[in-house]
Amino acid sequence: MTARYLLTRVGQALLVLACVAVTTFALGRVLPGDLATAVLGQSATPEQIAEFHHKTGADRPAVEQFWSWFTGVLHGDFGTSALTGQRVSDALADRAAPSLLLVLLAEAFALAVAVPLAVWAAYRQGRAADKAANGASFLLLATPQFAVAVLLIYVFAVRLGTLPATGYVPLDEDPAQTFRTLLLPAVTLALGLAAVYYRVLRAGVLDTLRQDYVLAARAQGLTPRQVLVSHTLRPSLLPLVTLVGLNFGFLIGGAVIVEQLFALPGLGTYALGAVQTRDFAVLQGTVLLIAGVYVLVNLAVDLLYGVLDPRIRHAR
C-alpha cells in the first residue's frame, strides 16, 4: 500500500473519467433527435431552428464545442440546460444530495440486516434459522422493486399514515424530515440489496468456516461469537465489499424506479429526462458526475481490500 500504488490508481481514475467525458459527448452528437424541436415544437421553421442552434452553440465544430465544455467542467462549470436555462452545476448539486443520501441509507440498512443474518445462518447451516433466512432472501430477490414500494406505501403512508409517501425535503431545511422522506425509498432499495448481500456473505462465511484456522480457533475454546466475529467475518468479506462498491456506483444514477415512485428529485430521474429531451449539457454533466462517484467508490473498495487482507497488501 505505497504512495506510488495510490498515485497509479488515482491516475487510472482520471483517465477513466476523461474517456467517459469524450464518450458521452460523442454519444450526444450521434444520437438522432434535436433539442430545438423539443424546445420550439414540431411546427418550428428552419430559420427558428438555425437561430436556436446558433444561440446554444450547436452550429460550431464538435471539437470546439467539446473543448469549451471540457475547460468549463475543469472550472466547475457544466454549462446551462438549453431547456430550462438553469445552470447544470446548480441542478447537479441539488439532485446529488437526495441520490447520495438515498444510496447511503439503503446500503446501511441492507448491511445492518444482511451481515449478522448471513453470519448466523452460515453458522447454523441447514438448521431452521438458516432455512428461514434462505427462503426470505429468495422471496425478496423474486419480488419486483415496484411491488415492494407499493406495499410499503400502502402500509406506512396509507394505512398507518406514519411516513410520507412521496416528496423530498432538503437536508438544510429540516434534517429529521429529510430522513422521514427518504425512509421508505431507502427501505425499498435495501430489501433487494440485503437479499443479494446475504447470499454472497453467507457463501463466503461457509467457505471460511471450513478453514483449518477456524477448527484451530474452536480448539482454543473460543466462544462462537469470538470464532465468528474475530476469526471468520473478515476473511469472508472481500466479495461483499466488491458488491457493495459496485451497487453504490450503480444506484447513484440507477435508482430511477424508486426515485420516480417516491417522487425524489434524484440524479437518475434528471438524467432520464435529459435523454428524452436531448438536453446534452445536462446529460453530459450527470453522466460525468455518476462516473466520478463510481470511480471514487471503487478506488475506496480497492484500498479497503488491502486493509481487510494483509495477503493483498503484501502482494502489491
Strand partners, 80: 87
Residue among 38, 73, 206, 217 that touches another protein (CB under 8 A): 217
Report yes or no: 205 and 237 within 8 Å, Cβ to Cβ. Answer: no
Strand partners, 87: 80
**If binding is defined by CB under 8 A, does position 231 make contact with another protein?**
yes
**If binding is defined by CB under 8 A, does position 234 make contact with another protein?**
yes
Q: Where are the alpha helices (DSSP H) in the chain?
A: 3-30, 35-40, 46-56, 62-74, 88-123, 128-142, 145-152, 175-209, 212-219, 224-225, 233-236, 238-254, 256-261, 267-277, 280-308, 310-315
Residue among 226, 260, 275, 302 that touches another protein (CB under 8 A): 226
What number of chain residues touch another protein (CB under 8 A)?
Answer: 23
CB atoms within 10 A of CB 223: 10
Residue among 166, 218, 250, 256 that touches another protein (CB under 8 A): 218
Q: Per-residue contact track with another protein, 294 to 313, x per CB under 8 A? A: --------------xxxx--
**If binding is defined by CB under 8 A, does position 243 make contact with another protein?**
no
Closer residue to another protein (CB): 217 or 299? 217
Task: Compute the distance between CA of residue 41 and CA of residue 230 in angstroms, rounded to an integer.
Answer: 65
**Which three cell numbers mark 86?**
438553469
Closer residue to another protein (CB): 23 or 230? 230
Closer residue to another protein (CB): 5 or 305? 305
Catalog residues that contact another protein under the rule CB under 8 A. 126, 211-213, 215-223, 226, 230-231, 234-235, 308-311, 314
